[in-house]
């Protein structure tokens, strides 16, 4: 296997004194087992390094990339980046290269996951499918084992490795579906049977769904729903670029949420995933986003930090110069109630297992519209009494989590699938006083 750090150093040496430069190399394997109609139909794997180079020539910034490690390919990448930079306008917001700094000594790595073969993933799929006899199972099981290395011409050098394992799937009847999701550092943490049992139960329980009138309903939201809320708060609110552009709802020091809400980003948490530095080569650290309902700080990359006269929090990702800093190790604080206890406390309301196709309507107020999916249920007198057809909601996520509206926070925190994908939001269930449903699937 290619040594990612040696390769990153080599690329910087190839640029030499012709430009400021930074290089990121990610090498390892990504392997995926897909299934549909309860059969595995695809095994795919990728074991190709990704090399990204950024150069700065007289304030002009350009990038190039390759997946080839030969000298000819690397020289072509360097020449392409340099030639392109000379044709670009000066980037007035270029903050300079990250200085030398050490990253936290953490490693979210599991050797068995990095070495997992198709049979390992297939066994989890088989357990998922077997838990739904008579139903149609579909989804995937994925294993990832990557090493990332960064180097720049200012002398910053960082390397780290990560693994993660995911099982995500649905069971379907002729008229309904139920879903389940698990993500963790190690494949040994995945329980295909438990995921399949949950998905099958939700599918069967949703088979005879009926319509209800739109309106404000008390809700119990699954971790998947909470994760989507946290993603939107992070991407459109606690993202410092949104604040620079006056599109963020965040008021630092303001009591914008219920005191029960806590949210932070922390790669050093033992439960976290990923490596301890960002794509700018800045070490990551714990960042408090919401504490006791109070908005505490923003997520920065080097560009926004320079604009606002502060330090980067280590939240640069590829492309963040366009869309801003993006937290990738978000935790929503847990409470002390089980989801069954939350449901039991509802006189009349809804249990929502997943949101789908959510889109921001107004970043300043965090009004989002979206749909429910794969299991929406009526709660009456503390018990689930039936299944509902999917509903559309239009809701400010800030108001939904506002003072007095968070009735309970679950003790069931886990990595949940979200609108932007799995693996970076660790979230519990929530019991909220009201949620604004505005229609059915059609509007």
The pLDDT tens digits for 135-177 are 999 999 999 999 999 999 999 999 999 999 999 999 999 999 9
* pLDDT bracket for residue 1 (50, 70, 90): low
Q: Within this chain, do residues 195 and 317 fall inside the same structural domain, yes or no?
A: no
**pLDDT-wise least confident of 153-162, 180-189, 417-426, 432-441:** 417-426
Are residue 196 and residue 82 in the same domain, yes or no? yes
Q: Which residue, among 79, 100, 226, has the nearest Cα to 155 in the 3D structure?
A: 100
R_g of the chain, CA atoms, integer Å: 23
pLDDT in tens, 95-131: 999 999 999 999 999 999 999 999 999 999 999 999 9
Boundary of a domain, candidates 175, 200, 225: 200
139 lies in the same domain as 216: no
The domain boundary residue, chosen from 153, 180, 200: 200
Residues 188 and 232 in one domain: no
Instruction: Please check whether residue 422 is in contact with residue 415, taking contact to mean a CB–CB distance below 8 angstroms.
Output: yes
Q: What is the pLDDT of residues 364-389, one digit of tens each?
A: 999 999 999 999 999 999 999 999 99
Mean pLDDT of 329-341: 97
Confidence of residue 81 (pLDDT cuts 50, 70, 90): very high
Please tell me the total count of domains within the chain. Answer: 2
Indicate the DSSP class of residue 333.
P
pLDDT of residue 203: 97
In this structure, what DSSP letter does residue 90 have?
Answer: P
Are 160 and 16 part of one and the same domain?
A: yes
What 115-123 contacts at long range (C-beta under 8 Å, 24+ apart), as own/partner pairs, is 115/145, 116/31, 116/143, 116/145, 116/165, 116/187, 118/31, 118/33, 118/43, 120/187, 121/31, 121/32, 121/33, 121/43, 121/187, 122/33, 122/40, 123/192
pLDDT tens profile 170-208: 999 999 999 999 999 999 999 999 999 999 999 999 999
User: Are 236 and 162 members of one domain?
Assistant: no
Looking at the fold, whether 188 and 246 belong to one and the same domain comes out as no
**What per-residue confidence (pLDDT) applies to 421?**
80
Give the C-alpha separation, 128 to 169, whole Å.
8
Backbone φ, ψ for residue 343 (5° rounding): -60, -40
45 with 125, same domain: the answer is: yes
The predicted pLDDT at position 441 comes to 64
**Is a pLDDT exceeding 80 seen at residue 442?**
no
pLDDT band at 56 (very low <50, low <70, confident <90, very high): very high
Same domain, 110 and 218: no
Q: Alpha carbon 126 to chain centroid distance?
A: 26
Beta pairing, strands 425-427 & 330-332: parallel
Same structural domain, 194 and 218: no
Specify the pLDDT at position 115. 96
Q: Are residues 411 and 273 in the same domain?
A: yes
Residue 443 pLDDT > 60:
no
Q: Write the pLDDT tens digit of every residue in 275-312.
A: 999 999 999 999 999 999 999 999 999 999 999 999 99
The residue among 200, 229, 251 that closes a domain is: 200
Q: What pTM does this model have?
A: 0.95
Q: What CATH number has the domain bearing residue 169?
A: 3.30.2290.10
| Residue 410 structural domain | 209-443
DSSP tag of 337: B
Integer Cα distance of 36 and 125 in angstroms: 10
Q: Taking a C-beta distance cutoff of 8 angstroms, is the pair 49, 7 a contact?
A: yes
**Residues 96 and 168 reside in one and the same domain:** yes
């Amino acid at each position: 296997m290619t040594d990612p750090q040696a390769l990153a150093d080599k690329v910087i040496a190839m640029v030499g004194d012709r430009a400021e430069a930074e290089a990121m190399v990610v090498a390892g394997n990504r392997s995926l087992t897909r299934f549909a109609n309860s059969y595995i139909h695809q095994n795919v794997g990728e074991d190709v390094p990704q090399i990204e180079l950024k150069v700065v020539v007289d304030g002009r910034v350009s990038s190039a990339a390759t997946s080839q490690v030969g000298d000819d390919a690397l020289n072509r990448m360097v020449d392409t980046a340099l030639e392109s930079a000379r044709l670009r306008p000066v980037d007035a917001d270029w903050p300079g290269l990250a200085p030398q700094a050490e990253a936290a000594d953490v490693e979210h790595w599991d050797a068995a996951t990095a070495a997992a073969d198709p049979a390992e993933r297939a066994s989890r799929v088989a357990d998922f499918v077997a838990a739904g006899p008579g139903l149609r199972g579909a989804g995937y099981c994925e294993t990832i084992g990557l090493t990332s290395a960064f180097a720049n011409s200012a002398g910053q050098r960082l390397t780290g490795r990560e693994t993660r394992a995911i099982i995500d799937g649905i069971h379907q009847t002729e008229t309904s579906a139920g879903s389940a999701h698990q993500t963790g550092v190690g494949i040994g943490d995945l329980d295909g049977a438990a995921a399949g049992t949950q998905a099958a139960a939700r599918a069967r329980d949703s088979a005879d769904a009926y319509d209800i009138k739109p309106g404000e309903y008390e809700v119990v939201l699954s971790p998947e729903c909470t994760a989507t809320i946290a993603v939107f708060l992070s991407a459109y609110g606690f993202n410092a670029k949104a604040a620079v552009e006056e599109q963020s709802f965040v008021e630092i020091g303001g009591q914008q949420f219920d005191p029960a809400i806590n949210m932070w980003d922390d790669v050093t948490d033992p439960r976290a995933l990923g490596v301890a530095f960002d794509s700018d080569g800045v070490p990551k650290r714990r960042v408090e986003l919401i504490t006791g309902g109070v908005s505490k700080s923003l997520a920065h990359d080097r560009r926004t930090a320079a604009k606002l006269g502060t330090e980067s929090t280590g939240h640069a990702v590829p492309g963040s110069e366009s869309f801003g800093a993006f937290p990738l190790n978000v935790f929503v604080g847990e409470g002390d109630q089980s989801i069954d206890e939350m449901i039991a406390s509802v006189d009349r309301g809804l249990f929502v297992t997943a949101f789908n196709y959510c889109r921001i309507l107004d970043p300043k107020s965090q009004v989002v519209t979206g749909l429910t999916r794969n299991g929406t249920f009526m709660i009456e007198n503390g018990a689930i009494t039936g299944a509902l057809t999917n509903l559309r909601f239009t809701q400010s996520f800030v108001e939904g989590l506002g003072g007095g509206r968070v009735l309970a926070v679950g003790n069931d925190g886990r990595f949940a699938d979200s609108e932007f994908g799995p693996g970076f939001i660790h979230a519990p269930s929530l019991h909220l006083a009201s949620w604004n449903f505005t229609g059915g699937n059609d509007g």
